[in-house]
């Protein structure tokens, strides 16, 4: 095993609140062990463009509360090619990097896996995505902040829904995963929650409208996951408006506000724990693993087990939703 003297860190894929806390934790862990650390800017693209900068204690001071990522992030098509990865390797060598920590989603870990099959540089991953859709971990950095952002947005939309007697269809992010929609829907008291993991929810929606949206004062909140089988919020709202002309249907797509904002206390804490654990793993000679959380404990998950997968949703949450909205 090669001695680790100098490491690099970068963020990749979509940004997520809490990434900065992880960058700070890794950097401070390295400096505390007299290991030099470089930030690679703009994800894998920066590795190819030789966009490396040595990080100091001051560089990561006062960033724990900031959303986004100070290292910037990107999706990089060039890294998908063997020429791109060779250039990236040469730059890692040029900068004398002995190990790398990548904060991102399962795509970023796939990139690291492919790279490690070609070149002998260890990678350790930290899961950072608001979707919380990575296998092998109960938690990904950014999820908790996004949950709070969605709940806050729904609370505000409820004020106008109630004042005008409108039925709102609110679309939350999550790709094919409905967890953010389900948990934010329960936490904000939404009447209907439409997620891809539950099929055939049309009757549930119809039932709610028939029983509860009877007159001009009736209001309601339907939260829709962007990947729901019935289509996004716009499609569903249009259909409902056509089927029930007496109601006032409105749509709100929450969009990118869900990715921003100051990280919650939980995101900062878990990102910090994962950052310290990732550095320890690299120093211990481990490679090709992602740091995860299982039942609140830090775990090490091989990259091969981190692929985005259909994760069954906790049946307790589904039952809760049914109980709360059985009219
Ligand atoms: P998010 O969950 O926010 O989408 P992600 O890490 O899954 O984050 P991706 O765009 O899937 O985001 O992957 C990030 C980058 O990882 C890609 O832009 C690409 O540079 C690299 N990457 C992904 N898959 C591969 C692959 N099979 N081979 C090489 N590089 C890859």
Split the chain (327 residues) into runs of 10 and give each run's mean pLDDT.
Answer: 92 97 98 98 98 98 98 97 98 98 96 96 97 93 98 98 96 92 97 92 91 82 93 95 93 97 98 98 97 97 85 87 82
Which residue's alpha carbon is nearest to atom 25 within ligand 1? 111
Which pLDDT value is given to residue 305?
92
Which residue's alpha carbon is nearest to atom 20 within ligand 1? 76
Beta carbons of 141 and 152 less than 8 angstroms apart: no
The structural architecture, per CATH, of the domain 145-259 is 3-Layer(aba) Sandwich (3.40)
How far apart are the C-alpha atoms of 315 and 63, rounded to whole Å? 37
Beta carbons of 128 and 67 less than 8 angstroms apart: no
Phi-psi region of 278 (alpha: psi -120 to 50; beta: other; left: phi over 0): alpha
Which pLDDT value is given to residue 262?
98
User: Which sequence spans correspond to the domains of the chain?
Assistant: 6-142+263-305, 145-259
Given 3-state DSSP classes, what are the helix, strand and coil percentages for the chain, each rounded to the nearest 5?
A: 45, 20, 35
Output the six-digit token pair for 84: 């791109």
Q: Which atom of ligand 1 is nearest to the CA of 105?
A: 6
- C-alpha 109 – ligand 1 centre gap (Å): 7
- C-alpha 164 – ligand 1 centre gap (Å): 44
Output the six-digit token pair for 178: 């409905």
* Residue to substitute in 100, 110, 174 for testing ligand 1 pocket (most ligand atoms within 8 angstroms of CB): 110
Phi-psi region of 231 (alpha: psi -120 to 50; beta: other; left: phi over 0): left
Which residue's alpha carbon is nearest to atom 3 within ligand 1? 14
- C-alpha 219 – ligand 1 centre gap (Å): 41
Q: Which atom of ligand 1 is nearest to the CA of 77?
A: 20
* Residue to substitute in 15, 40, 45, 75 for testing ligand 1 pocket (most ligand atoms within 8 angstroms of CB): 75
- SS3 string, 254-318, reads CHHHHHCCCCCHHHHHHHHHHHHHHHHHHHCCCCCEEEEEECCEEEEEEHHHCCECCCCCCHHHH
Which pLDDT value is given to residue 312?
77
Which residue's alpha carbon is nearest to atom 6 within ligand 1? 105
C-alpha 76 chain-centroid distance: 18
Nearest to 184 by CA among 176, 174, 199: 174
Which residue's alpha carbon is nearest to atom 13 within ligand 1? 107
Bridge partners of residue 300, in order along the sequence: 291
Which pLDDT value is given to residue 228?
87
How far apart are the C-alpha atoms of 85 and 219, rounded to whole Å? 54
Nearest to 13 by CA among 55, 48, 42: 42
* Residues known to be catalytic: 131
Which pLDDT value is given to residue 271?
98
Q: Which atom of ligand 1 is nearest to the CA of 45?
A: 20
How far apart are the C-alpha atoms of 256 and 75, rounded to whole Å? 17
| Most distant CA atoms of the chain, gap in Å | 72
- C-alpha 20 – ligand 1 centre gap (Å): 19
Q: Which DSSP letter does residue 50 get?
A: T
pTM, full prediction: 0.95
Which pLDDT value is given to residue 160?
96
Question: What is each CA distance from 111 to 44, 239, 325, in whole angstroms?
Answer: 9, 41, 43
CATH of 6-142+263-305, one of 1.50.10.20, 3.40.50.450, 3.30.70.270, 3.30.365.10: 3.40.50.450
Which pLDDT value is given to residue 322?
86
Ligand 1 shell residues, CB under 6 Å: 12-14, 44, 75-76, 79-80, 104-108, 110-111, 114, 129, 131
Which residue's alpha carbon is nearest to atom 2 within ligand 1? 105
Q: Which atom of ligand 1 is nearest to the CA of 15?
A: 3
Which pLDDT value is given to residue 217?
75
- Say which residue the tokens 């002998």 belong to: 120
- C-alpha 43 – ligand 1 centre gap (Å): 10
Bridge partners of residue 62, in order along the sequence: none
How far apart are the C-alpha atoms of 122 and 3, rounded to whole Å? 11
Which pLDDT value is given to residue 31?
98
Beta carbons of 16 and 140 less than 8 angstroms apart: yes
């Amino acid at each position: 095993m090669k001695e680790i003297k100098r490491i690099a860190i970068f963020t990749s894929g979509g940004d997520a609140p809490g990434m900065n806390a992880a960058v700070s934790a890794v950097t401070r862990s390295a400096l505390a062990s007299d290991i030099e650390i470089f930030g690679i800017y703009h994800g894998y693209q920066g590795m190819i463009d030789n966009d490396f900068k040595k990080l100091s204690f001051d560089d990561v001071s006062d960033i724990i509360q900031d959303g986004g990522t100070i290292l910037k992030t990107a999706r990089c098509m060039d890294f998908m090619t063997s020429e791109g990865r060779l250039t990236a390797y040469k730059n890692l060598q040029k900068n004398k990097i002995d190990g790398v920590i990548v904060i991102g989603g399962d795509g970023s870990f796939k990139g690291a896996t492919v790279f490690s099959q070609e070149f002998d540089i260890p990678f350790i991953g930290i899961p950072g995505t608001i979707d919380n859709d990575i296998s092998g971990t109960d938690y990904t950095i950014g999820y908790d902040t996004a949950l709070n952002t969605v709940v806050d947005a729904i609370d505000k939309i409820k004020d106008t829904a109630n004042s005008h007697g409108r039925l709102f269809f609110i679309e939350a992010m999550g790709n094919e995963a409905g967890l953010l929609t389900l948990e934010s829907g329960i936490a904000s008291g939404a009447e209907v929650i439409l997620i891809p993991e539950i099929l055939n929810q049309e009757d549930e929606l119809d039932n709610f409208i028939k029983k509860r949206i009877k007159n001009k004062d009736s209001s309601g909140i339907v939260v829709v996951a962007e990947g729901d089988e019935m289509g996004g919020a716009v499609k569903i709202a249009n259909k409902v408006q056509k089927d029930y002309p007496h109601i006032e249907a409105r749509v709100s797509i929450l969009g990118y506000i869900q990715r921003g904002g100051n990280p919650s206390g939980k995101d900062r804490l878990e990102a910090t724990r994962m950052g310290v654990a990732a550095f320890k793993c690299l120093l211990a000679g481990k490679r090709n693993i992602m740091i995860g959380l299982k039942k609140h404990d830090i775990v090490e998950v091989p990259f091969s087990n981190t692929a985005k997968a259909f994760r069954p949703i906790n049946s307790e949450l589904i039952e809760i939703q049914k109980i709360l909205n059985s009219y």
